[in-house]
Each structure stands twice: as C-alpha cells, then as structure tokens.
Amino acid sequence: MYDRPMKPATAYMETTTIPVTRPLMHQAAARPLLKWAGGKTQLLDAIIPGIPKKYGRYIEPFFGGGALFFAVRPERGVIADSNPELVNLYRSVADDPEGVIARLHRFENTEEVFYAVRALDWTRLPSAEAAARTIFLNKTCFNGLYRVNRAGQFNVPFGRYKNPNILDEEALRTASSILRNTTIICGNYKDVLREQAHSGDFVFLDPPYLPVSEYADFKRYTREQFYEKDHLELAAEVDRLHELGCHVILTNSNHSLVHEQYGKFTVEVVKTRRHISCNGKGRTGEDVIVTVHSKPRFDPGLVPVAVPAQAGRYPSTRYMGSKNKLLKEIWAVASQFEFETAIDLFAGSGIVGYMLKSQGKAVVSNDYMAMPATFAKAMIENSEVILPQTEALALLEATRPVDRFVETTFQGLYFSDGDNRLIDRLRANIKALRNPYKRAIAMSALIRACLKKRPRGIFTYVGHRYDDGRKDLLMSFGAQFLEAVDAINAAIFDNGKKNRARHGDAMTLPHGHAGLVYIDPPYYSPLSDNEYVRRYHFVEGLARDWQGVEIQERTATKKFKSYPTPFSSRKGAAAAFDRLFSHFRRSILVVSYSSNSQPTLDEMVAIMARNKRHVEVVPVDYRYSFGNQGHKAGNSRNTVQEYLFVGH
C-alpha cells in the first residue's frame, strides 16, 4: 500500500494519530467491513422484502460479516457472535473508528507482513489494534476465509491479491455511526435470543449451513462447528420465537432437513454464487430463505373500536346483510393485525371496504353482482372525481332518445309511469357520460333513488302494499336522485392508496399478497334463502343495463335468472369456503357468519383450520333490520349470534 522500509510486525501495530480530513458520512451507504464466507450481500434483494415494515428490535445472533444489518441500518439493533475476535472488531469500530483507521494505514499488502501480523496473538493486543489486525488479515488472506487450528490460531494462507481494499475509511466511519447505537454481544445464539428477543422483534438467523454436495465442507470455514443436531435445536428455537411473537427470517442451504423442519413456514429457494469453492464448476448453488411471520397476539375479547368519521359518510341503504352496524366490531378485530392491503371479497353494500379505505388501507372491493361493483367504482376506487350538481340536473333533462325499456317492461310493477320514464331518461343520459367515475356516481345515485322509493327497498313483490308513508316514499324521484348524488359526492375522498373495484367471481380473484381478506358471503340457511339477485334484480339490471341476463317474462316481478353460486346449498357452501380459505391462505382471514347458517360453527372452524395455523371465533350479538319473510318481521328469530371467524 505504501512505499516504506520494512519494519518488525509489532511496528505495524503501534499507536499513530491520523487527522480526520472529512466529516463522518452518517448518510453514506453502509457496507460490510469484512469479506465473509457465506455473506448475504448477493441475497439482500431476496431477503429485505420479507422484513416487516414495523418491528421492535433487530436481532442477529450469527453476525459474521453483517451484510443485512449494514444494508438495513436498524435504529435498535442487537448483534452477536460466538467468535470473540469478531465481536472485538465491531465493538472497536463502534467505540474507536479513528484508532482502527490509524492502524490500518500502516499495513502493506506483502506476504512477509501478512505472516508476521498473522503470528501475533490478538488477545494480547489493544482492542483497536486487534480489530485492525482482523480486517487486514481478512482482506489479504485467501478468499477472505476465517479458519483457526485446534490451538485457536488463525491459519488461512496469504491470498496474493494485487490491490486489496484494506482500508475503507468511509465504510468504517459509517459502520461506527450505526454500531455505536447497537448492543454487541459475544455469546451462544440461544443465550442471546432467550435474553434479548421479545414479541414484535425481528430476528435474522444465518447459521453455519447444512452441507450439500460441493458445499459440504463449509463448516470448516467457521469457528463454530454446527452439526445436524444443532440445526434441529435451532428449528426448535425458531418455533419458540414464532410462538413468542417474533418475525424471523432464516437462511440455509437447500437441504432436505431445512424443508422438513421449516415446511410449515414460507420457504423460498434461490440460486446463488459460491465464493469459497476451489472448483470453479462448483461455485453455483441454491440457498433457502425461510420467512416466519410473527404470530399476532390476538385478543378475542371484543371491545368495539371507533372508526374514522369518514366511514360515516358512506350513503346508507337498506341493503340486505349490510354490516354498517358492525363496523366497530369488525375493525376491533382487523386493527389487531399489521396489514396495508385488504380485499372485501363479497362487497355487498360496500360499507366494509369503504371503512377499510378510511383506515388508510389499499382496498380491492369485489362482488359477483354489478350493483356493488358500481358503488365501489364510485366511492372506493374513485378518489377525486365528483358529479357537479349542474351536470346531475342535466341528466334529468330529455336531451337524447330513450329506449323506453323500463317503461314498457316494468309498467305498473314498482314505480309510476312517470318515474319509469324518468329512469329511462337517466339511463340514456348516464350512458353518454364519458368519465367512468361520473357514470358510476350517476348510476349509484339512480340505484339508491330506486331503493329509497321502494317500500322495504326490495323487488320481490309488486305494488306498494308496504307503503308506510315514509319521507323517502313521499319525495319525488328526481329529488331522490339529486340527494343521492350529493351524498355520494360527499363520500368521495383520497386515502393516498390505489384502490380498485372489481366485478367478478371471488374464486377467480388473484390473491397476490393481500394482507387481510374480509369475507361476508351469502349465508346458506334452510330457514331462508340467500338470493340477492331475487331481491335486487331490478337495480342489478340497471347496473348491467340488462345485458347478459335472461328476464323470466312469466314471473309477476319480471325477475331474471339468478347467478349460479356455490353458497346456495350446504354442501356447496362448505366446498366454497374450503377453496376460498386455501386460495387466500397467506392472508389474514376475517369472516362474518351467522349462527343460523350452515356449515355449522364447528364445521367452519375445521375448514379454516385446514388452511390457517390459528383460528379464533368472536361472537357478536346482532339483530337483523328486517325479517326474511314478511310475516316474520319483528319475530325473535331476527336476533341471531353473528360470528367473526379469524384465521391467522
């Protein structure tokens, strides 16, 4: 490195003060200080995405070169290793980086200096000198290996590199700024974890690898011998950390024992390059990354949690099965988990998806019916577009030809002739709107007006025999439409996330990596039907413009054929739940379910347990707003036990 006469080895360890010529680079990119066999630099892109966004402390008990630690730069770190020489290096860099730098300035990359420095007993040197010796030998020895003989003496030969980077001042100063706020321990990994790891911490485990093929001698390059029994003990410790509530990532070779011990967790195989094999053809291999998600500390003792005021701005309807009155209970469950994305799989009224949006989540609102998808398009996917009152008023005007479909098909069934003509006029004008969100707002307002103007808000009967003189029934259809536009406009907001409305089969929705999936399916019960299409066929037809449906002309209500659904039978519902839980098994599952539905509570728990490690059942007292049949309105059967099944 420097042109100067040779000195005795001890001369290269004497104290020298080198002035600092530039400020500490606290924001510089952190790099490992050592070349380290089995270092994780090349795996960082695969490991880092698995680290939780929020965690307590970062704990790494097989520290080695610390590539992940220096890449992550945790604010609260605990690092440890059983190698005292390595621990001395990191403590010295943390406490006295300039002292280590000063001593490294004096080394030359020659074979004579290398063997003279290697012969020194590091335990007899001041800590900064010992740290400098460790770095120098690491950067100039063969392949950066760390190996000692039975006497504990470093015995790797000289590497004969032309220009090794012995002194990286920027890396040392940056590392010091991170390490000085880190707890650095010399000890056995089990002792470290039992003393330091707590619920919510992130633990990274990079033990000496299990031997496979050309990699079989890897244990020779580590100070700590690690055999099969040690890996079995490590697997038991990982189970303990999981139960404790820690998030764990572990790396190892692609060995059958790893898959056997960690198969219940997420196991990913990645191609890697080996840097310690003497056989050039054997320098490729496969590593395994095991991700153990922290076990949430779930409290089934339900205490309703307030939801944001924004959630209360969602326009109300009398939609069957709406969970508007259960939002606090649903959020009390969901809020116990860490998640950024959510799927409302059977959106229905859309209120739960909207509530999740108001909590800052990225939401996918899905339903097999077009009407809920229209609501979601207007108020969940849409973040800024409104329908101005002037444009809403213009939609009421006769400005273009109409097809008179509603007027002729549903004459005398649900609305007056004048209202039917106005509905046809609105249909024609809405279809002409170019902006898809304005179309969704206008159609949602039209649907809401139809529901408000219909006694009991359903279309299973004709005429007005349930007319109770409510204000909604007395208002004109045009006034109902304009009021609905105002209500929908007031509900539109931007939560800073990309939200999406989807009209489709829940079974075909790509699961991706949704953090939480809320499932409120049609309940199957022998006491009632779950025919949403039968109740809402008229407004569902509006949302679809009656495209792709078959109107049953001989029926009194002119309903159309219901969509096929597996939830129309007990056996079909059980199979559907099994498929759904399997499809979304990587997500937190929250399922609304009624006590008078089938499968039964025990059967539902068994189905969910096939796909989720932990299943909880949270009971909620709930009264339906109206009965299943007219003569049962007000009947005590309206009071049921609602369940929230939670799989995590």
Each residue's pLDDT tens digit, 477-518: 999 999 999 999 999 999 999 999 999 998 889 866 689 999
Give residue 225's pLDDT. 64
Q: What digits encode the pLDDT tens for the residues 224-236? A: 567 889 999 999 9
Q: Provide the CB-side half-sphere exposure for 637 (13 A, CA).
A: 13
One-letter amino acid at 189 equals Y
Give residue 122's pLDDT. 94
Share of the chain above pLDDT 70, in %: 86
Question: Mean pLDDT, to the nearest integer, of 599-605?
Answer: 89
Give residue 217's pLDDT. 41
User: Residue 274: pLDDT band by 50, 70, 90 thresholds?
Assistant: low
User: Residue 24: pLDDT band by 50, 70, 90 thresholds?
Assistant: very low
Give residue 530's pLDDT. 57
Give residue 22's pLDDT. 31
Instruction: Give yes or no for a contact between 442 and 519, defined as CB atoms under 8 angstroms apart.
Output: no
Instruction: Give yes or no for a contact between 449 and 426, defined as CB atoms under 8 angstroms apart.
Output: no
pLDDT at 288 over 80: yes
Share of the chain above pLDDT 90, in %: 60
User: Which of 47-61, 167-181, 428-442 is most confident?
Assistant: 428-442
Q: Provide the CB-side half-sphere exposure for 60 (13 A, CA).
A: 26
User: Residue 613: pLDDT band by 50, 70, 90 thresholds?
Assistant: confident
**Do the domains spanning 28-292 and 298-363+499-527+568-648 agree at the CATH topology level?**
yes
Concatenated DSSP letters for 501-529? EEES-GGGS--TT-SEEEE-PPPPBTTB-
Q: What digits encode the pLDDT tens for the residues 531-582? A: 778 889 999 999 999 999 889 999 999 999 887 777 777 888 899 999 999 9
Q: Which residue, chain included where needed, has tokens 């995590």?
A: 648
Give residue 10's pLDDT. 43
Query: For 50-87, what is the HEC assignment?
Result: HCCCCCCCEEECCCCCCHHHHHHCCCCEEEEECCHHHH
Give residue 457's pLDDT. 86
Question: Mean pLDDT, to the nearest integer, of 115-120?
Answer: 93
Instruction: Give yes or no for a contact between 484 and 448, defined as CB atoms under 8 angstroms apart.
Output: yes
- Per the structure block, which two tokens stand in for 321? 């099965």
Give residue 2's pLDDT. 32
Instruction: Give yes or no for a contact between 274 and 216, defined as CB atoms under 8 angstroms apart.
Output: no
Are β-strands 77-81 and 182-186 bridged in parallel, bridged antiparallel, or unpaired? parallel
Instruction: Give yes or no for a contact between 614 and 596, defined as CB atoms under 8 angstroms apart.
Output: no
pLDDT at 8 over 50: no
CA 173 to chain centre: 35
pLDDT at 4 over 60: no
Give residue 148's pLDDT. 82
Q: Which residue, chain included where needed, has tokens 């270092």?
A: 39
Question: Mean pLDDT, to the nearest integer, of 521-532?
Answer: 67
Question: Mean pLDDT, to the nearest integer, of 578-591?
Answer: 92
Q: What is the rounded distance in angstroms from the CA atom of residue 522 to the CA atom of residue 372?
A: 14
Q: What is the rounded distance in angstroms from the CA atom of residue 442 to the CA atom of residue 452?
A: 15
* Lowest-confidence pick of 233-242, 297-306, 323-332, 383-392: 297-306
User: Residue 14: pLDDT band by 50, 70, 90 thresholds?
Assistant: very low
Question: Mean pLDDT, to the nearest integer, of 461-487?
Answer: 88
pLDDT at 60 over 70: yes
Concatenated DSSP letters for 558-590? --BPPPP-GGGSHHHHHHHHHHHHHHTTTSEEE
Query: For 335-357, what is the HEC assignment?
Result: CCCCCCEEEECCCCCCHHHHHHH
CATH class of residue range 298-363+499-527+568-648: alpha beta
In sequence order, which residues have a C-beta less than 8 Å from that of residue 118 and are 6 or more positions away?
137, 141, 154
Instruction: Give yes or no for a contact between 530 and 524, defined as CB atoms under 8 angstroms apart.
Output: yes
Q: In the CATH scheme, what is the code of domain 28-292? A: 3.40.50.150
Give residue 541's pLDDT. 96
Q: What digits encode the pLDDT tens for the residues 147-175? A: 888 888 888 999 999 899 999 999 999 99
Q: What is the rounded distance in angstroms from the CA atom of residue 59 to the CA atom of residue 61?
A: 6
pLDDT at 625 over 60: no
Question: Mean pLDDT, to the nearest integer, of 302-309?
Answer: 83
Q: Which residue, chain included where needed, has tokens 């020895």?
A: 141
- Per the structure block, which two tokens stand in for 226? 């690690």
Q: What is the residue extent of each domain of the chain? A: 28-292, 298-363+499-527+568-648, 385-491+531-564
pLDDT at 114 over 80: yes
Residue 180 vs residue 295, higher pLDDT = 180
pLDDT at 632 over 50: no
* Lowest-confidence pick of 95-99, 303-307, 471-475, 630-634: 630-634
Question: Mean pLDDT, to the nearest integer, of 232-248?
Answer: 93
Give residue 228's pLDDT. 87
Residue 627 vs residue 207, higher pLDDT = 207
pLDDT at 30 over 90: no
- Per the structure block, which two tokens stand in for 516? 């939480």
Q: How far is CA 443 from CA 351, 385, 476, in A?
A: 17, 14, 17
Give residue 6's pLDDT. 37
User: Residue 410: pLDDT band by 50, 70, 90 thresholds?
Assistant: very high
Give residue 29's pLDDT. 54
Give residue 280's pLDDT. 45
Q: What is the rounded distance in angstroms from the CA atom of residue 111 to the CA atom of residue 16?
A: 23
Helix and strand numbers, DSSP H then E, in the chain: 22, 14
Residue 613 vs residue 204, higher pLDDT = 204
